[in-house]
């Protein structure tokens, strides 16, 4: 540990010295200026630039290639004009093309950026860090994103209301865009200067050109924008949007004999409202009452046998819009590792499945809601002209009760208490965003704790900082976080012994298990320094790197409102990359990366060492390839035995590779592979996936993906923990797990505002266990010496469970259940969406799910079992119709 600290100090000092010695300014480029004027006569938005008003301003052009030949003249010229009035900003584009018949007019849903397009990025705050992006394709598909962190984060969940039309002619194509000023954020100064950047994509050449030159090696984006001048007396607009909605829903499923709650059909109608109100010119209040998320795509099927929880992406519109404000990763390293998934705020905790389940007697049936209802939620967010970014989120989920029927007599039992979730985020920019400091606080308060099974309160917070220098190519960033959870003695004891903490681990000298505690307080943090750009070499190569430390103390607990895989870790990481951002030989661009990782627990035990190198390249024909290898010479797991001692795992090496054909083609193919080999033939893992995407029509895409996974471990798979002669006995085994999944997607875009989308995924996973034994010496260097494998005289399978007679005295010492299972699931959505008016939508949804009981089907192969069971019985079908109308002011 001491040597690591000294090495890190030396490394950071050397790199800082190198940063100070770097001689050339990487972004000493004059900023272009465009001067706009106020509209004097109306503009008819039809995509044809023939209105007299456009004659009042000049065309801007002189674009330069951004990719693939940076700095050279583009193959086709582009020009634009900008006007404004009291309510709107107007942009006209002329995209010249010497071969207009070659312009690609593919169709897609919003934010998928198909074919040829042109976009404008607007830094209306002029804070040099954030911007609003509006993209229009030649086919009329709109895309919009909120840009933050100087271009390092593009959030396409932002869906403002704006208007655009396109037109093709013998010179190429044109577009007119009309952006309500109410969708932008800016100050009250009489003469405004906004940052702007205009980008054009020529699809058939995969060429991108920009109005303002920003070198790829600069490591910046928004701070390099050109400037829009001439905006005089533009007043911030009051934004008011109210969208009431109604949802009609019916479910059909297989009825259950004798169960009064499972008659085979359920129907209901619900009402709710979404809204957006500009409290000030800078700050927006978003709210929802009784939100419905029925049109959201189903989560992919996932099953883990290693004890870690699954992470699912947020898909619900209310929570994903403006989520960049509330994103707070505990680490977020360039090197990447499992700890990068840890978040202080994980919105999927809100409205999830109830924590409890009713206690049923023989002959009783229960009606149990699948999800907790959200009574209401509100977000207050924005950024002031003084550089303050503010985000507040409040959500209340209702008390949930299960209805229990006993021969017609009914009672209720609470399975989820009334709960309040709160998140606050504050950041302040200094010197145009060169320095940013911020903080976050989250809180969960529950009305009761379900018989001591939940935390009554859970709080977390953090302080973070970011500092750039050398034209924002070097940075220093970090955070410190804390957590505090409250509950009964029973619940805090359960938290201490939970998988994320495992205070009961027999060799955990750094913690002690205390059954009298009613609270836990933990800390975490990350410190990292890096270089994101800089001077490029003769081949266009740029050296980038990042190194740092991240830690979670043993008592850190954020899973009531956040996401954390495990506590009690100190991780060191270093990433370095040589990126060739210009054409080199047969590549349009390429990069070579190196990573290394080390890990300790708070008891000083060294846990993990790994070294990785990987390479990626984009060929001139737009095929992509990549490969990488990770060597793990040392690995000890504190979680593998679920609270037993730490376990030495075998050293190993993995290799992965991928190839992706040109995605612009009507048919393209992608292939990925991953293989892992444990030392001394102790483990083996392989994962292969193949995807085929076809576009038979400009308006239709069909894709099919197949994934095959095989995971084998010789002896160290945890099975159960029991007591034997007053001592803990950890039973382990060999495991052989096979997983197969198919993913089918179909998108048909009748118009940019009328789309049909299908998603379907059959899934099966089958782990089988054999050669059972128990842990003898978990940290022994010899793999076989760590375990004792039961012989035939010590173990027998009777009446559905394994009986163990360790001392062979003819008496059963302990038993454990058969752990094998065969899990089959099918999930699908068919969604028709029509945006019949800007911001107003009509949905028709058919959702189908089937999780048949295939737990005993081990006689057939995995593939046969999947298709024999996937449509067995009757699936649950949900038909939903949603109508929303947005009132605008």
Query: Which residues have a Cβ under 8 Å from the Cβ of 313 and sit 6 or more positions away?
Result: none
Does some domain include residue 765?
no
- Which CA distances in Å does 319 have to 286, 291, 378, 390? 10, 11, 10, 16
Tokens of 283: 């700050």
Which structural domain range is residue 484 located in? 1-26+307-595
The sign of the torsion formed by the CA atoms of 260, 266, 271, 272 equals positive
Q: Give the chain's residues under pLDDT 70.
A: 1-27, 873
Q: Distance of CA 434 to CAs 23, 149, 532, Å?
A: 20, 11, 14
Exposed, middle or buried: residue 257 (CB in 10 Å: 0-12, 13-18, 19+)? exposed
- The gap from C-alpha 310 to its chain's centroid, in whole angstroms, comes to 12
Residues 42 and 179 in one domain: yes
Residues ≥6 apart with Cβ < 8 Å to 799? none
Nearest Cα residue to 83 out of 203, 183, 16, 181:
181
Whether residues 8 and 128 share a domain: the answer is no
Q: For residue 198, give the nearest of 212, 187, 188 by alpha carbon.
A: 212
Q: Parallel, antiparallel, or unpaired for β 700-724 and 727-751?
A: antiparallel
Cβ-contact 125, 281 below 8 angstroms: no
φ/ψ of 394, rounded to 5, equals -130, 135
Of 544, 562, 595, which residue constitutes the final position of a domain?
595
Tell me the average pLDDT of the chain. Answer: 91
Greatest pairwise CA separation for the chain in angstroms: 101
Taking a C-beta distance cutoff of 8 angstroms, is the pair 413, 402 a contact? yes
Report the alpha-carbon angle 426-427-431, nearest 5. Answer: 160
In this structure, the answer to whether residues 452 and 530 fall within a common structural domain is yes
502/393 same-domain check = yes
- Is 238 domain-assigned? no
> What is d(CA 62, CA 60) in angstroms, rounded to the nearest whole number?
7
Specify whether 19 is located in the same domain as 53. no
Tokens representing 411 are: 């009672």
Whether 108 and 207 share a structural domain: yes
In 601-651, which ranges are E strands?
606-619, 624-637, 647-648
Distances (CA, A) of 419 to 398, 448, 520, 582, 701: 7, 9, 20, 53, 43
For residue 425, being part of any structural domain is answered with: yes
Cis status of the peptide bond prior to 68, with omega within 30 of 0: yes
Q: How far is CA 306 from the centre of its chain?
A: 21
Q: How many CA atoms lie within 13 A of 282 on its CB side?
A: 17
pLDDT in tens, 83-125: 999 999 999 999 999 999 999 999 988 888 889 999 999 999 8
The confidence score (pLDDT) of residue 22 equals 39
Contact 541, 498 (CB under 8 A): no
Residue 347 lies in a domain: yes
Question: Would you say residue 59 lies in a domain?
Answer: yes
- pLDDT digit string, tens, across residues 567-581: 999 999 999 999 998
- Are 459 and 424 in contact by the 8 Å Cβ rule? The answer is no
Would you give the end-to-end CA distance of the chain in angstroms? 61
The pLDDT score that the predictor gives to residue 10 is 38
- CA–CA separation, 43 and 34 (whole Å): 20
And the tokens for 268? 């209901």
In a domain, 381, yes or no: yes
Token pair listed for 657: 């590779």
| Number of neighbouring beta carbons within 10 Å of residue 651 | 17
**Claim to verify: residue 73 and residue 188 sit in the same structural domain:** yes
Among the three residues 232, 252, 270, which one is the final residue of a domain in this structure? 232
On whether residue 108 sits in a domain, the answer given is: yes
The H-or-E segment that residue 81 falls in is strand 78-84
208 plus 346 within the same structural domain: no
Are 488 and 577 members of one domain?
yes
Residues 180 and 132 in one domain: yes
From 588, 606, 608, select the one nearest 597 (Cα to Cα).
608
In whole angstroms, give the CA distance from residue 706 to residue 863. Answer: 12
Listed as own residue / partner, the contacts of 440-445 with beta carbons closer than 8 Å and 24 or more positions apart are: 440/328, 440/344, 440/345, 440/464, 442/344, 442/345, 442/558, 442/561, 442/562, 443/561, 444/419, 444/420, 444/560, 444/561, 445/419, 445/420
CATH at 37: 2.60.40.1190
- Provide the domain count of the chain: 2
Single residue among 595, 628, 662 that ends a domain in this structure? 595
Same domain, 13 and 72: no
Rg (CA), the chain: 29
Domain membership flag for residue 809: no
Domain check: are 434 and 453 in the same one? yes
β-pairing, 647-648 vs 624-637, is antiparallel
């Amino acid at each position: 540990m001491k040597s690591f600290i000294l090495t890190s100090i030396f490394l950071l000092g050397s790199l800082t010295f190198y940063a100070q010695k770097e001689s050339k300014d990487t972004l000493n480029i004059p900023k272009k200026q465009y001067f706009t004027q106020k509209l004097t006569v109306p503009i008819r938005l039809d995509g044809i630039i023939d209105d007299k008003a456009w004659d009042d301003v000049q065309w801007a052009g002189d674009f330069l290639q951004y990719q693939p030949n940076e700095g050279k003249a583009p193959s086709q010229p582009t020009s634009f004009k900008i006007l404004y009035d009291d309510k709107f900003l107007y942009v006209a584009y002329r995209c010249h093309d010497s071969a207009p018949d070659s312009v690609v007019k593919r169709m897609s849903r919003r934010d998928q950026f198909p074919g040829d397009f042109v976009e404008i990025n607007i830094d209306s705050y002029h804070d040099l860090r954030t911007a609003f992006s509006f993209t229009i394709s030649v086919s009329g598909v709109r895309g919009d994103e909120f840009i933050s962190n100087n271009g390092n984060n593009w959030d396409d969940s932002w869906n403002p209301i704006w208007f655009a039309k396109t037109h093709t002619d013998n010179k190429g194509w044109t577009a007119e865009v009309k952006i309500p000023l109410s969708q932008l954020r800016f100050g009250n100064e009489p003469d405004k200067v906004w940052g702007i950047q205009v980008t054009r994509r020529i699809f058939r050449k995969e060429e991108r050109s920009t109005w303002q030159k920003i070198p790829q090696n600069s490591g910046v984006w928004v701070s390099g924008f050109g400037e829009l001048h001439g905006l005089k007396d533009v007043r911030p607009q009051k934004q008011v949007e109210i969208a009431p909605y109604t949802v009609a829903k019916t479910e059909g499923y297989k009825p259950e004999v004798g169960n009064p709650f499972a008659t085979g059909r359920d129907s209901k109608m619900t009402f709710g409202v979404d809204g957006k109100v500009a409290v000030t010119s800078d700050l927006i209040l978003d709210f929802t009452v009784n939100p419905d998320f029925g049109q959201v795509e189903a989560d992919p099927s996932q099953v883990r046998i290693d004890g870690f929880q699954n992470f699912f992406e947020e898909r619900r519109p209310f929570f994903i819009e403006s989520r960049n404000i509330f994103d707070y990763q505990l680490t977020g390293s360039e090197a990447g590792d499992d700890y990068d998934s840890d978040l202080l705020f994980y919105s999927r905790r809100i409205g999830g499945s109830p924590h409890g389940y009713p206690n049923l007697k023989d002959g009783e049936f229960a009606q149990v809601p699948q999800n907790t209802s959200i009574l209401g939620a509100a977000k207050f967010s924005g950024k002031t002209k003084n550089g303050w970014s503010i985000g507040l989120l409040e959500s209340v989920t209702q008390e949930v009760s299960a209805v229990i029927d006993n021969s017609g007599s009914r009672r209720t039992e609470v399975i989820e208490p009334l709960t309040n979730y709160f998140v606050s985020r504050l950041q302040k920019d200094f010197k145009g965003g060169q320095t940013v400091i911020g903080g976050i606080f989250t809180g969960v308060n529950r009305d009761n704790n379900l018989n001591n099974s939940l935390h009554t309160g859970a709080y977390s917070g953090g302080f973070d900082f970011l500092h750039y220098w050398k034209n924002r190519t070097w940075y220093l960033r970090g955070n410190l976080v804390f957590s505090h959870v409250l509950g009964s003695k029973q619940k805090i004891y359960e938290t201490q012994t939970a998988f994320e903490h495992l205070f009961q681990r027999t060799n955990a000298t750094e913690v002690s298990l205390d059954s009298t505690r009613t609270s836990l307080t933990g800390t975490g943090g990350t410190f990292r320094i890096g270089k994101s750009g800089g001077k490029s070499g003769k081949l266009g190569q740029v050296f980038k790197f990042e190194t740092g430390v991240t830690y979670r103390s043993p008592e850190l607990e954020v899973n009531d409102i956040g996401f954390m895989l495990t506590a009690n870790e100190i991780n060191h990481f270093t990433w370095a990359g040589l990126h060739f951002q210009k054409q080199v030989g047969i590549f349009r661009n390429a990069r070579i990366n190196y990573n290394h990782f080390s890990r300790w627990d708070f008891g000083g035990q060294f846990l993990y060492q790994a070294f990785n190198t990987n390479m990626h390249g984009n060929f001139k024909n737009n095929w992509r390839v990549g490969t990488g290898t990770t060597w793990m010479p040392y690995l000890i797991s504190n979680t593998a035995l679920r609270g037993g001692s730490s376990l030495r795992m075998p050293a190993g090496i993995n290799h992965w590779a991928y190839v992706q054909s040109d995605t612009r083609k009507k048919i393209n193919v992608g292939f990925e592979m991953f293989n892992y080999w444990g030392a001394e033939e102790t483990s083996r893992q392989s994962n292969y996936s193949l995807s085929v995407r076809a576009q038979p029509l400009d308006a239709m895409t069909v894709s099919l993906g197949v994934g095959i996974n095989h995971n084998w471990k010789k002896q160290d798979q945890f099975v159960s923990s029991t007591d034997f002669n007053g001592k803990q006995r950890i039973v382990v085994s060999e495991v052989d797990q096979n997983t197969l999944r198919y993913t089918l997607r179909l998108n048909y875009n009748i118009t940019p505002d009328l789309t049909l989308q299908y998603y379907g995924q059959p899934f099966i996973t089958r782990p089988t266990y054999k050669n059972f034994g128990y842990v003898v010496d978990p940290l022994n260097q010899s793999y076989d010496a760590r375990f004792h494998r039961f012989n035939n005289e010590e173990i027998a399978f009777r009446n559905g469970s394994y009986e163990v007679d360790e001392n062979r005295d003819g008496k059963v010492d302990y038993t454990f259940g058969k752990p094998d299972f065969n899990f089959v699931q099918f999930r699908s959505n068919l969604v028709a969406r029509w945006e019949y008016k800007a911001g107003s939508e009509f949905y028709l949804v058919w959702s189908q799910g089937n999780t048949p009981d295939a737990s005993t089907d081990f006689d057939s192969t995995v593939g046969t079992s999947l298709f024999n069971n996937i449509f067995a019985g009757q699936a649950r079908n949900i038909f939903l119709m949603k109508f929303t109308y947005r009132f605008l002011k």
